Amino acid sequence: MAWQPETPPLDLVAEGGETISGESADMRTTHLAALLLAASTVSAPLSAQERPASLVGSGVVPSTAGNSAERPIVFSATPTSPQALIIPVMAPLAIAQAAPGLPAERADAIQQAAAAAGFEPAAGKTLKLHGIAGIPTVLLVGMKPTSALPSANDLADAAGTAIQALRDEPRDITIAAGGLAAGSARSLGLGARLGQYRFDSLKTGRMAPPQNPVIIVSPDAAAEGAAFAADEAHVADATRLARDLVSLPANMLYPERFVEIVREAFSAVPNVRITVLDEAQMRQLNMGSMLSVSQGSRRPGRMLAIEYRGAGNAAPLALVGKGITFDTGGISIKPNTNMWQMKGDMAGAAAVTGAMLAVARRRAKANVVGVVALAENMPGGNASRPGDVVRTMNGQTIEILSTDAEGRMVLADANQWSIRQFQPAAIVNIATLTGSIVQALGSDFAGLFARSEALATRLEAAGTASTERLWRMPLLPVYQSRMASEIADIRNVSDGAGPGAGLGAHFIQYMTPQPTPWAHIDMAGVRRTESALPTVPKGSRGFGVRLLDQFVRGYEQP
């Protein structure tokens, strides 16, 4: 029976609270009754497409703006009269040596002012001076006094620290690189590019910081500028892409939109092929593990592969990332506290995407494929339940004890498909997989699990070289018994307490066919930073782009 409005009551309450008899108030209530009847029986004309069946979300885009422009990086061999001057320095402080292009009287004035302030150079330490020797702003930024040749990372950190300190400087900024070793300017450029990143596209009435150029003055400026444009600039742009992806809210970034952004980013990049599997294609391949995660959401999942070939017919490296664009936990729903951060549960996919962009744009002499498993993990009438059993592409069965252990589920099918489709020389997973790794390593390291010692060694070296550090974690045979299922091949979590990060890694290893060398990076603790780091402003770190790019460099052909 259709809903009918109730009969208006006989007794009405007047505005002042006095009861009015229906019999004595006929004339006074006629208009009100008419209004009530009209409101209950008449509605405004509705659009035929008031809420299309295909509509997901509100249909109103929060913003179509991009992030505000950043300062361009310029290389120059000719010193100019600086408006704002950054001088990277080491102990013992010697301004004349650190900035040889600076007139002697200016170098002496800065030296004396720094001495009067008691400044002693050290990594990350800065001193800002105003109006010294006619220069409006001078910033001294310290580096490690460990040798006369700072590393590329020391230089990038110094530039990133300095550019953040001068974020609101309303002038051109000059970085003095003349006192540094040849090849230093490009590393300063990387730090300056990474350090000034911001995500402000969703702020209305934003006040963008100044966009005056950063001018790096070096005697070999032409060569350094060309090298930067061919290499570090691409790594910085790729890191920026990863940071943007992780920062976007889930109503703006979902599997289909992720694919669109990837297509846009790679549209003009040579030697790249993009393959996308929709849910119908994944069903044909029996990817039940992957589909079990996306089935509760109105946003369908996607399996995305980005292939880059720069080394002939050599077997590719496979980089496989977890791409959960939002993770409620599904039926095993998470508590509300900090659930908003689960928009970043696709940081592994962002890292893989960014690394592939860096590798392809700098034309690496290697073959690499990046695979990202994209899904939204939501509760709903069609969502997976604890106790369900699903199968992977290879036919292995999984008993789901927790729908909140979904990352390993999508990686199971992603790894199996990657091996069958691309026959890689090695496969590396990267994922915000477990809270356990955060408890173990905090925000200082990502956890590294591997069944190949050679692969682990390469990844650890790449982590050190890129400053995105890894800490090796154990994979023990006993984990298999802790994950055993009575009715399926394996459970997706242990029924009880245990080393959660190791058990999650074991599950992925179990699902990854031998003999392919395999490693897994659990980056849950390093996805974002709550306070600025030298080359990372507060927020998304874009972790994994520099690490994986460096890893690929170790395989490049001469």
**Which residues are known catalytic residues?**
334, 408
Q: How far is CA 166 from the centre of its chain?
A: 25
In whole angstroms, how large is the CA radius of gyration of the chain?
Answer: 29
Distance, CA of 510 to CA of 528 (rounded, Å) = 29
Distance, CA of 398 to CA of 408 (rounded, Å) = 11
Which string of b and e fits 138-167 if b means at least 16 CB within 10 Å?
A: bbbbbbbbeeeebbbbbbbbbbbbbbbbbe
Whether a cis peptide bond, with omega within 30° of 0, leads into 88 is: no
What SS3 class is residue 20? strand
Which string of b and e fits 527-543 if b means at least 16 CB within 10 Å?
A: bbeeeebbbbbebbbbb
Please name which of 475, 454, 446, 449 lies closest in space to residue 547, comparing C-alpha atoms.
446
DSSP string, 363-417: T-SSEEEEEEEEEEE--STT---TT-EEE-TTS-EEE-S-TT--HHHHHHHHHHH
Distance, CA of 236 to CA of 190 (rounded, Å) = 6
Distance, CA of 410 to CA of 385 (rounded, Å) = 16
Tokens of residue 330, six digits? 């599904």
Distance, CA of 399 to CA of 493 (rounded, Å) = 9
Please name which of 466, 246, 469, 236 lies closest in space to residue 346, comparing C-alpha atoms.
246
Q: How far is CA 58 from CA 64, 182, 253, 303, in A?
A: 15, 55, 14, 25
Tokens of residue 223, six digits? 């060569």
Distance, CA of 459 to CA of 468 (rounded, Å) = 10
The phi-psi region of residue 496 (left if phi > 0; otherwise alpha if psi is between -120 and 50; otherwise beta) is: left
Cβ atoms of 316 and 422 within 8 Å: the answer is yes
Please name which of 362, 333, 326 lies closest in space to residue 347, comparing C-alpha atoms.
326
What SS3 class is residue 230? helix
